[in-house]
Amino acid sequence: MIETIGILGGGQLGRMLTLEAKRMGYRVVTLEPLPNSPCGQVADEQIVAAYDDLRAIGELGARSDVVTYEFENIPLESVRALEDGGRLVRPDSEVLRVAQDRILEKAFVREAGCATAPFAPVAGGAPLDDALREVGFPAVVKTARGGYDGKGQWVVRDRDEARGALAAARGAALVVERFVPFDLEVSVICARGADGTIVSFPVTENQHDHGVLATTIVPARVSPALAEQAKAVAATLGAKLGIVGTYCIEFFVAGSKLYVNEIAPRVHNSGHYSLDAMQISQYEAHVRAICDLPLVEPKLWEPAVMVNVLGAGTGDYLEGVATLLRDPDVKLHVYGKRHAALRRKMAHFTVLAPTLDVALAKAEIGRHALSWSQSRSDWGNAARASSTVRRP
């Protein structure tokens, strides 16, 4: 029987996962290198340790009945050590191995019969020029591992720019990808149980700012046929990979074509809206999947728009919260991070409305109501008091 869930990672995804898990009656232990993390603040226990500290990882395993993760840049060895010690990790280390390496991930997507942008690896000493010749300009040079939120990637239009990217990458393994002139980006969140049941959330439309998700629009403004196709691809990939838990497949849409961009084997920023707009959230679905509870088909109450509230680097206090909250259709979620560094994900709000146009208009009003300042305002952004910090 599962009573305690262990979470590797202490960010906002872990926080919302924890809040849902606790609502459902579970205990949560988190492991993350920084004390008082967004997840640690709401978990029953936080283990403050590096992700490669195998003694601490062992302690997390010993305290948990199932271990999961809220981001994929966890050392594979740590997850394998848990499994070798007989601990249940969901999704398992094989899923993580593929998802944390863009080269393996893209090769896997192709093998599964799904489209990606043309790509070529620049690893193991293969020359960048060869990869660029294969892929063509403009291209996107990406680090094979460790990138997120647009970090570790460079759009290059010619060989000079490509050489600049190579220098900036400082010897990291790279993958070169054709730049896709997409019409829009969409994602599909699914949850898969150990028995193979898969349920999918509505296709969402995602708008980015400097590589960071800014807005999610639900449902995505795509044809029903394309939405069905995206869901089918997402289900195929999750089943072939054997994921147990919530996962997200990101796509580029160009005309009537879909290209898989990324597999995130975890709860995802583009699924935040599900907390307020659906009868089951992506977080609850993850808890159900990893705890062997039944998965049910998610239902959308109303069209929704989720706006990420990003730091501006101009102060740690958010102004305009009272104005934002005058709209009865707005739900605000705050992550308990102290410093609002430039483009750091600090909070989000979701707007529900009878039509997408109304939700979009209200989202823009809400976005413009908010700004950052250096002095305490109508809203306190201080990180909340932490739960017990255990040092292994």
Out of 150, 319, 323, 327, name the contact with ligand AMP by CB under 6 A: 150
Say whether residue 384 binds ligand AMP (CB under 6 A): no
Say whether residue 146 binds ligand AMP (CB under 6 A): no
Minimum gap (Å) between residue 165 Cβ and ligand AMP = 13
Minimum gap (Å) between residue 330 Cβ and ligand AMP = 25
Say whether residue 210 binds ligand AMP (CB under 6 A): no
Residue type, 40: G
Could you tell me which of 211, 228, 210 has the C-alpha nearest to residue 219?
228
Say whether residue 205 binds ligand AMP (CB under 6 A): no
Reported in sequence order, the residue ranges of 101-230 that DSSP labels E, i.e. its strands, are 119-122, 139-143, 153-156, 174-178, 184-192, 198-200, 204-209, 212-218
Say whether residue 132 binds ligand AMP (CB under 6 A): no
Q: Is 134 within 8 Å of 195 (Cβ atoms)?
A: no
Residue among 205 and 316 whose Cβ is closer to ligand AMP = 205
Say whether residue 215 binds ligand AMP (CB under 6 A): no
Out of 13, 47, 120, 180, name the contact with ligand AMP by CB under 6 A: 180
Q: How many CB atoms lie within 10 A of CB 158?
A: 11
Out of 140, 263, 291, 324, name the contact with ligand AMP by CB under 6 A: 140
Minimum gap (Å) between residue 148 Cβ and ligand AMP = 6
Of all residues in the shown chain, the one whose CB is closest to ligand AMP is: 180
Residue among 43 and 114 whose Cβ is closer to ligand AMP = 114
Minimum gap (Å) between residue 355 Cβ and ligand AMP = 26
| Cα–Cα distance, 24 to 119 (Å, whole number) | 43
Say whether residue 208 binds ligand AMP (CB under 6 A): yes
Minimum gap (Å) between residue 168 Cβ and ligand AMP = 15
Q: Which residues pair with 246 in a beta bridge?
A: 191
Could you tell me which of 192, 287, 200, 288 has the C-alpha nearest to residue 240?
192
Looking up tokens 């919530």, which residue turns up? 246
Say whether residue 179 binds ligand AMP (CB under 6 A): yes
Which long-range CB contacts under 8 A does 168-174 form with residues at least 24 apart? 169/141, 169/143, 172/143, 172/144, 172/145, 172/146, 173/103, 173/121, 173/122, 173/123, 173/124, 173/143, 173/144, 173/145, 174/121, 174/122, 174/123, 174/128, 174/131, 174/141, 174/142, 174/143, 174/144
Minimum gap (Å) between residue 206 Cβ and ligand AMP = 7
Minimum gap (Å) between residue 262 Cβ and ligand AMP = 5
Say whether residue 177 binds ligand AMP (CB under 6 A): yes
- Cα 357–chain centre separation: 26
Say whether residue 270 binds ligand AMP (CB under 6 A): no
Out of 59, 185, 205, 276, name the contact with ligand AMP by CB under 6 A: 185
Say whether residue 261 binds ligand AMP (CB under 6 A): yes
Residue 77, burial from CB neighbour count under 10 angstroms (0-12, 13-18, 19+):
middle
Say whether residue 118 binds ligand AMP (CB under 6 A): no
Instruction: Report CA Rg, the chain.
Output: 21
Furthest-apart CA pair in the chain: how many Å? 58
Minimum gap (Å) between residue 252 Cβ and ligand AMP = 6
Could you tell me which of 268, 307, 302, 303 has the C-alpha nearest to residue 286?
268
Residue among 140 and 356 whose Cβ is closer to ligand AMP = 140
Residue among 46 and 269 whose Cβ is closer to ligand AMP = 269
Say whether residue 105 binds ligand AMP (CB under 6 A): no
For 56-104, give the DSSP string.
HHHHHHHH-SEEEESSS-S-HHHHHHHHHTT--BSS-HHHHHHHT-HHH
| Cα–Cα distance, 331 to 313 (Å, whole number) | 24
| Cα–Cα distance, 206 to 222 (Å, whole number) | 12
Residue among 117 and 203 whose Cβ is closer to ligand AMP = 117
Segment interacting with ligand AMP (CB under 6 A) among 3-11, 179-187, 194-202, 323-331? 179-187
Residues lying near ligand AMP in the complex (CB under 6 A) are found at 117, 140, 147, 150, 177, 179-180, 185, 208, 211, 250, 261-262
